[in-house]
Amino acid sequence: MNTRNQKTVSRRRVLLIGVALIVFFFASFAFGRYAVPVTDVIKILLKNCFGLPFKADWDANMEIAVMNVRLPRIVLACLVGCSLSGAGCAYQSVFRNPMAAPDILGASSGACFGAALAILLGRSSVGITISAFCFSILSLLLVYLIGSRVRGSRATSLLLAGIMIGSLFSAGTSYIKLVADPGNQLPAITYWLMGSLSGAKMRDLLFAAVPMGVGLLVLFILRWRVNLLTLHPDEARAMGTNTERLRFFVVSAATLLTAASVASSGMIGWVGLVIPNLCRKLIGNDNRYLLPASMLFGALFLLLVDDISRNLLAVEIPIGILTAFVGAPFFLYLMTRKEKA
């Protein structure tokens, strides 16, 4: 397939993923314990979001379910999935390693420590989210501080520093679980670490939307330049690109996305690892199309998994468990298929 045909196919597939996301976005409002017809869902959204003069011929509980319960959760699922997958794709390009994931620089471990510490201190849900976000950003600062003092390749230095910082924060989280009250604090910490979107409120959505929006915008604008990071540093430098500065912006944006995602939803694994690799098989290695495809597919994937988690059983399944159940076997399939190629 020549380059022009490859670009056309990539654009069409990105567009197809976007259309599927829109379809399932609106369909997700109809799923739940309280049934709401799709036609009523559309009317309620148009009336409340755009002020269209629809006559309220639906039950008041339907409007409460759609606007107060499902809308924040569905939008947050899309944002978190989009952010984790976009961050994973960026990390894989920066470190030139398809096994790189959003928690590679310790941001997830830092967020988990911050959340566990806030729960131990009896903070509110807002305080837990803020603490998780702040410690996640702190982990990035520590990684850059240590990585800048290590000789050798900057990418390798950041990777090793991230592993070290992540291990320290994981040890801190384990200690907090050890000293936490087993009656209420330990179950709360354990449940948070499993990852969940249950109880999502508009304030959670507003808190997450700003850093996620900034991070996604930076990656989207720099998506064509991210391709240069997959080249040898000397080749990229010969093309007039400051690879250190570009790597800093890309890694910072990806870590910001990871921090906001983990702070607002807990630990949700595999999304940032599996989805970019799947999109790479569908789209190719060109980040001009790969990054948008990963973002859209990540949002679609987490939206579907969240629909399953809140409808499969009488008791809601933490979404982090489901992503592991789906992601691990699927990634094994991708690996074995790659070996056969």
Per the confidence metrics, is the pTM higher than 0.85?
yes
**Number of domains comprising the chain:** 1
Instruction: Provide the residue-wise pLDDT of the chain in tens; the chain has 341 residues.
Output: 566 777 888 889 999 999 999 999 988 988 887 878 888 888 888 888 877 777 777 778 888 888 888 999 999 999 999 999 999 999 998 888 888 888 888 889 999 999 999 999 999 888 999 999 999 999 989 998 888 887 767 778 888 888 899 999 999 999 999 999 998 899 999 988 888 888 788 887 888 899 999 999 999 999 988 888 776 666 766 776 777 888 889 999 999 999 999 999 988 988 998 999 999 988 988 899 999 999 999 999 999 999 998 888 778 888 888 888 887 787 777 677 654 44
State the CATH number of the domain containing residue 254.
1.10.3470.10
- Its domain, for residue 80, covers 3-340
DSSP character string of 18-87: HHHHHHHHHHGGG-SSS---HHHHHHHHHHHHH-------S-HHHHHIIIIIIHHHHHHHHHHHHHHHHH
Q: Which residues contact 298 (CB under 8 A, 6 or more apart)?
A: 81, 82, 83, 84, 85, 86, 88, 271, 272, 275
Q: How far is 106 from 293, CA to CA, in rounded Å? A: 25
The predicted pLDDT at position 340 comes to 45
Tokens coding 106 = 């310790």
Q: Say how far apart CA 279 and CA 301 lie, in whole Å.
A: 12
**In whole angstroms, what is the distance from residue 268 CA to residue 257 CA?**
13
Which pair of structure tokens corresponds to residue 127? 């305080």
